[in-house]
Amino acid sequence: MPLVPALPRFMDSSRLDDEHKLIARYAQRLAQEARTMGRAPSDANLASLDASRAQRELISQLEAKNKEIMREIARLRRQQEIEAAGLENPALMSELRALRQRKDELETHLATLQDSRRQLMVQLEGLMKMLKNHQASPRSTPNSSPRSTKSPPLPPGAVPSSRSAPPTPGGPLSTTPQQQQQQQQQQQQQSQSQQQMSQSYQNPVPTTSVANVTNNTMLGTIQNPIPDNLSCVGGDVR
């Protein structure tokens, strides 16, 4: 009789021992897995981390593109609203056309200015080349031509050969002393102008001085004209 109640107690104790052993084994296994995971992640874990990172980057890129698309859609909507309002408002449309026309005119003017600037630069380069060539060339060549054309000066008191021959009877009319004096003055003025022009070739002078010399020569000719007839000349005409 007393052996019957002892059997359930034994069975309960053995069952508890088995449960404790199972719990201990499970705890030991969990501890081993935690140690391995704490030491170094496996290749599968690395691959999963890379995949999740790539997914996050892709999601961020898609979100940025979505924002850009939404901004573009909003801009197009505003533009359509403005155009629709402009169709209803003719004054606004005319102002818009005037602004576009002004923009085209300014662009055309800018292109013209750029073309003229390029042409001026080309001309400036050509002038600079000519200036360099002129500076590099010898300076004796421009001075040789006026010297060669210059006539030798007459000695003082000499009379030109045209007035040295005595008048012959029945020949051309003889010149009076007044005409001779006028001719001498004209020749002196011409020789002076030639000398001044030759000096201007050697030492460049402003063009105003040459003009003044020419004007003086013309004034001298006007002040002392050669008589066209012999009515004012005294003497016997044969």
3-state helix, strand, coil in the chain (%, to 5): 75, 0, 25
Q: What is the pLDDT of residue 84?
A: 75
User: What three-state secondary structure class fits 220?
Assistant: helix
> Among 228, 237, 191, 238, which Cα is nearest to 213's?
191
User: What is d(CA 105, CA 99) in angstroms, rounded to the nearest whole number?
Assistant: 10
10 Å Cβ neighbour count for 182? 19
Rg (CA), the chain: 60
User: What is d(CA 183, CA 204) in angstroms, rounded to the nearest whole number?
Assistant: 30
Residue 159 sits at the vertex; the CA angle it makes with 158 and 162, to the nearest 5 degrees, is 150
Residue burial 189-223, b: 16+ Cβ < 10 Å; e: rest: beeeebeebeebbeeeeeeeeeeebeeeeeeeeee
User: What three-state secondary structure class fits 128?
Assistant: helix
Q: Judge if pTM exceeds 0.75.
A: no
Q: What is the pLDDT of residue 102?
A: 95
The encoded tokens of residue 83 equal 């155009």
147 neighbors 198 (Cβ within 8 angstroms): yes
User: What is d(CA 58, CA 101) in angstroms, rounded to the nearest whole number?
Assistant: 46
Q: What is the pLDDT along the chain (238 residues), one digit of tens a residue?
A: 444 444 455 556 667 677 777 788 878 888 787 676 655 555 666 777 788 888 888 898 999 999 999 999 999 998 888 777 766 677 877 888 899 999 999 999 999 999 999 999 999 999 999 999 988 876 545 454 444 445 555 555 554 544 444 445 444 445 577 777 788 888 887 777 777 766 655 554 444 444 454 555 555 544 454 444 444 444 444 4
